[in-house]
Amino acid sequence: MNYQKIIMSVLILFIVTNCSETNGIFGKTGSGSDPFANISQSSLEYFSNEVGDTVLFKVNQSVIEPDYREVLNSQAKWIKENSIALVTIEGHADEQGTREYNLALGARRATAVRNYLVSKGVSESNLSVVTYGKERPLRICSEENCWSKNRRAITIIDGSSS
């Protein structure tokens, strides 16, 4: 037993030492205070994290709330600046509805986002919409804090024109 304990202690010491070294190495190459400083402003990562690819909706609603107009304004600007030719907008619903109604509701939400982007100068022919209804929840709990994240439209960049 004692022998085993000693081996375990040595092993744990080794792992801990090793970890701290590893952290040190990555620490030197880290990006500092702004995690997006090294990310190109034309990258998909920048679009989804900085511009914001998601619009959330109230229960059974497809109206773009004022909070999300700024997100969509930025989306429109980014899509135009980067000459994006292929954009898919996915509409989703939470699980608290029937399958067919949620498909129709997801289509309403995706179309609301599309129409807003078009109103901000994005070419309609570059935008396509698809509804997933309640088929692809982002969060899987059965409470409002998950449902509110699932009632969403996501703007997905499929490709540029060049």
Partner 1 sequence: MDINNKKKYNKRYSTPLKVYNWVVLLLVFFQFNFVFSQENVPELDIDVTDGVVEPIPVAFPNFITTDFSSSIIANEISRVVKNDLLNTALFRIVPDGSYISDVTSIDSPVRFADWRAINSDLLVVGDVTVVNETITIKFRLWDVVGQNEIFKGVQFKGPSNSIRRIAHKVSDLIYSGVTGEGKYFDTRIAFISERGPKNKRTKRLAIMDQDGANLIFLTDSKSIVLAPRFSPDSRKILYTSYETGKPRVYLMNLMNGNLRTFPELPGMTFAPRFSPDGKKIILSITDNGNTDIYTLNLENNLKKRLTKNVAIDTAPSFSPDGKFIVFESDRGGNQQIYVMPSKGGKAKRISFGKGRYGTPVWSPRGDMIAFTKMYKGNFHIGVMRKDGSQERLLTKAFIDEGPTWAPNGRILMFFRETSGVNGAPSLHTIEVTGRNLKKIELSSFASDPSWSSLLK
The residues that touch partner 1, with contacts defined as CB under 8 A, are 40, 42-44, 60, 62, 82, 88, 95-101, 103-105, 107-108, 110-112, 114-115, 129-132, 135-142, 156-160
Q: Are 107 and 146 in contact (CB under 8 A)?
A: no
Give the Å distances, CA to CA, from 37 to 63, 73, 115.
34, 22, 32
How near is the Cβ of 78 to partner 1 at its closest, in Å? 11
How near is the Cβ of 72 to partner 1 at its closest, in Å? 15
How near is the Cβ of 102 to partner 1 at its closest, in Å? 10
Name the residue nearer to partner 1 (CB basis): 3 or 74.
Answer: 74
| Distance from C-alpha of 38 to C-alpha of 26, rounded to nearest angstrom | 15
Name the residue nearer to partner 1 (CB basis): 23 or 98.
Answer: 98
Name the residue nearer to partner 1 (CB basis): 55 or 157.
Answer: 157
How near is the Cβ of 83 to partner 1 at its closest, in Å? 10
Name the residue nearer to partner 1 (CB basis): 23 or 160.
Answer: 160
Q: Are 63 and 57 in contact (CB under 8 A)?
A: yes
How near is the Cβ of 55 to partner 1 at its closest, in Å? 14
Helical packing angle, 66-81 and 99-119, nearest 10°? 60
Q: Are 59 and 151 in contact (CB under 8 A)?
A: yes
Name the residue nearer to partner 1 (CB basis): 70 or 124.
Answer: 124
Contacts of 76 (CB under 8 A, 6+ apart): 116, 117, 120, 121, 122
